[in-house]
Amino acid sequence: MSEIPVYQNYINGEFQAESASYIEVTNPADGTVLSKVPNASATEIQQAIDAAKAAQKGWAATPAIERAQYLNRIADKLRQNVDRLASIITQEQGKVLDLATVEVNFTADYLDYMAGWARRIEGDIITSDRPGENIFLFRKPLGVVAGILPWNFPFFLIARKMAPALITGNTIVIKPSEETPNNCFEFTRLLNEVGLPKGVFNVVCGTGQQVGEALTTSNKIDMISFTGSVATGSAIMAAAAPNVTKLNLELGGKAPAIVLEDADLDLAVEAIKASRVINTGQVCNCAERIYVHAAVADTFISKLSEAMKATRFGNPMTQKDLEMGPLINQASLDKVVSMVETAKREGAQVVTGGKVADLDSGFHYEPTVLAGCHSDMEIMKKEIFGPVLPVQVVDSLEEAVELANASEYGLTSSVYTQNLSTAMRAINMLDYGETYINRENFEAMQGFHAGARKSGIGGADGKYGLYEYTRTHVAYIQS
């Protein structure tokens, strides 16, 4: 058996020498050790920040079209290595191979999309109150960005943070999740081949307590872009407060799916299932709770249960044609078990699933539908992050929206109806960053992925996500 790979931090355009300590990365499907990654020291973290700081002015002075060409070349490298990269993602994260392949291709497309903004970043000329004066608004880079990644879409999130940062003239220090860092180091190997100027892109791996704290408290970091839990996001806000560092936070979600009496039930079942089992329910915009109209509740729950029960799941490295893999770790599995057991004690009925899957290894939970749920239950209020769908019966759109809005989260939502007027009413009433009508919960790169309440601050994607990485500079010029 060959030795497992040992990765090193990437600072100032070079992979570093051997680290003082390492973290083992394991496969959630079978527990095997996949690699060793560095647990960065305080010195390494500071070196990465300093390298990014030193490189930033030169990078910002580089014409945007030249910055875009680097992104295009990185995208080409990714497309040349899709199968290998997808396999690495599947091994360390547990998502099915088809989804990992989509993630790699989508990441390459995202780099190209953001590169396309090189000639379209715009300021404004503003009318003055004074005669002979012109007011110009320029968009300028912030400086150094800290990109702190989650483990659920670890490859795509590199690009979601890096691409808008770099195209607007910022430099970046990336911290991958210690659960899923291998794909980030493989991304970096390919990036290293395109000759990106030293210091523009840096990677330091390690625990949140050590690396995350160092990045979020540094007075040399000009923006922190984080995707993860509300608890960690709140801690980052507190850490960044003394320096008043700009924050871009994508946090949790508790996405409601509203199924009305005129809905196409087969379409609704297909879309809601797809929005739940994708990545084993470990996505912030997954459908997390269902409000179904009483007139169609029995039929809908029956159809949904059949569809969830038929979900093909297992070890994505040894089985083909799967829809779902394992949860990321034992703690995640324990959380799902606890939430379902609590829901059962509170009166929910298990229609299908409801227990740990009977497989030889891995953190697998059966696709689950819970009927008889009500708004006071923990499972209707707290994020599950697993393949469980709790269902509550309602009597009207207004009741469903009121329950949907009564949440500490406000990221995504969905509505199933064949009436356009009803759909527009729902959109106007829902207090969410995104609403999907008659389709699965999956955003477009040209949209704007942002939420309300505890789902975060700022957003990503499209023009508005790009401009998150800029500041304005207004000049008053008197002729």
> What count of Cα atoms within 13 Å lies in the side-chain half-sphere of residue 25?
31
Assess contact for 190 and 112: CB atoms under 8 A.
Answer: no
Catalytic residue among 44, 178, 186, 250: 250
Q: Which residue has the tokens 């709140």?
A: 234
Whether 266 contacts 296, CB under 8 Å: no
Q: Which amino acid is at 143?
A: G
**Residue 250 annotated to the active site:** yes
Residue written as token pair 């527990």? 31
Known catalytic residue: 286?
no
Give the DSSP H or E segment for 222: none
The sign of the dihedral angle between the CA atoms of 10, 11, 16, 19 is negative
Q: Starting at the edge strand that comes first in sequence, how are the strands of the sheet with 144-148 ordered?
A: 14-15, 10-11, 201-203, 171-175, 144-148, 223-227, 246-250, 456-457
Query: At residue 193, what are phi and psi to the nearest 5 degrees?
Result: -80, -15
From the candidates 44, 92, 186, 284, which is the catalytic residue? 284
Q: What is the 3-state secondary structure (H, E, C) of 306-359?
A: HHHHCCCECCCCCCCCCCECCCCCHHHHHHHHHHHHHHHHCCCEEEECCCECCC
Torsion angle (degrees, nearest 10) of CA 418, 423, 424, 430 = 180
Q: Which residues contact 285 (CB under 8 A, 6 or more apart)?
A: 253, 255, 275, 411, 412, 434, 441, 442, 443, 449
Kindly report the backbone phi and psi dihedral angles of residue 33, in degrees, each rounded to the nearest multiple of 5, phi listed first. Answer: -80, 130
Would you please indicate which residues are annotated as catalytic (active-site) residues? 250, 284
